[in-house]
Amino acid sequence: MTLTIDTSFFDDQLQSLTELRHHFHRHPELGFKEHATSARVCEELERLDIPYEQGLGGTGVVATIKGLAADNGRRIGLRADMDALPIQEASDHAHASEVPGIMHACGHDGHTTMLIGAARYLARHRDFSGIVYLVFQPAEEGLGGGREMVKDGLFERYPMDAIYGLHNWPALPRGQVAIRPGPIMAATDRLDICVRGKGGHGGVNPHLSIDPVRMAGALIQALHSVVSRDADPLSPAALSLCGIKGGELDGFAIIPDEVRLSGTVRTLDLATQDRIADAIARTCDGVAATYGGQIEVDHQRIFPATINHPEATQHVIDTAREVLGESALEQEVAPSLGGEDFAFMLEQCPGAYFFLGSADTPDTPPLHNARYDFNDAIIPTGSQLLVAIALEGLAKAS
């Protein structure tokens, strides 16, 4: 490595950082409501004498760590997300969520903790040139906190040569690093569909109604064939209808006026995203015309695909190889069809997003599961990687 990093520092900090992670886990907050989480992050930064700005993008925090060596003009950003999910925790560990119906089921408590671990190291070891920006982002879970930070002037206020983020990944063994250039996470679309007909009596005169339940049934079948016939089979995509509401189960003979559907589309490239959107609109129009009703589609493009920049990707690979060794690298990882609003940051600034394995056993609960818990054993690894990525990135101009 270009720089020498005191790796023992992170092991020495593990107990303290684990206690901090457990604090975040016990007190989860939903997107744009991370007031206590943000305040605790700021307390840590104040204790470390690191200047920061609070309130960017709502509840976001950006900290600035300047090296004491002559400034070389380089600026590197490190990002962590802070929000939790609306899930009732099913775990029985001592640090389980104390907030009914909300839990850290995606490990953002761990991401925030690892970035604070990096802050602790950088605050104590300032013998570097340039500036490291620590970006604590709100509302990643479907609400677009990353977009809001960008709209709030993140990169105008804090110009960066590159920005990096990681996500713990229970599908990989603990300590394994996986990254790829190009798309690594999918564009995330939301579908809200209203199928409108004409209600009536399901026994006496069903022929006088326009049955939205029948239309919805046909539409579900038709839309679930879109990916197989309207998308390039060499470009991964998914279309899933995940919710349906219409009529009353007690009103077993009452044909309702409307049925509502909700779902999602995931794609890795804009051409496929556009092609599937056209197919959805065409299919809805066709089913409505066939059955004599109306179908309205609200197709929202929530997140773009998370696309890693080649040079930044190689930087993560080189750094991980030096920090963890060749055996810890997984460069052939398949992209995930999960969504990630770090995409908005990568649209504005070069950078890369990577996975850090967190599984100790094959049956480790997955992300967004009520029994999921972040693996504290990867805190030193994640913090060390973030520090090394930042310092090596700053040193590139030296």
Q: Which long-range contacts (CB under 8 A, 24 or more apart) does 327-333 make?
A: 328/175, 328/176, 328/177, 329/176, 329/177, 329/178, 330/172, 330/176, 330/177, 330/178, 330/179, 331/178, 331/179, 331/180, 332/180, 333/178, 333/179, 333/180, 333/184
Tallying the residues shown for the chain, one arrives at 398
Query: Is 298 designated active site?
Result: no
Query: Given 29, 34, 44, 83, which residue is catalytic?
Result: 83
Spatial CB neighbours of 88, under 8 Å, sequence gap ≥ 6: 100, 101, 103, 370
CA 142, CA 341: separation in Å to the nearest integer? 8
Calculate the alpha carbon distances from 50 to 81, 116, 163, 187, 343 in Å: 19, 11, 19, 35, 27
SS3 content of the chain, % helix, strand, coil (to 5): 35, 25, 35
Query: Is 340 designated active site?
Result: no
Structure tokens, 255? 């044909």
Query: Given 44, 109, 140, 211, which residue is catalytic?
Result: 140
Task: Give the catalytic positions in this structure.
Answer: 83, 140
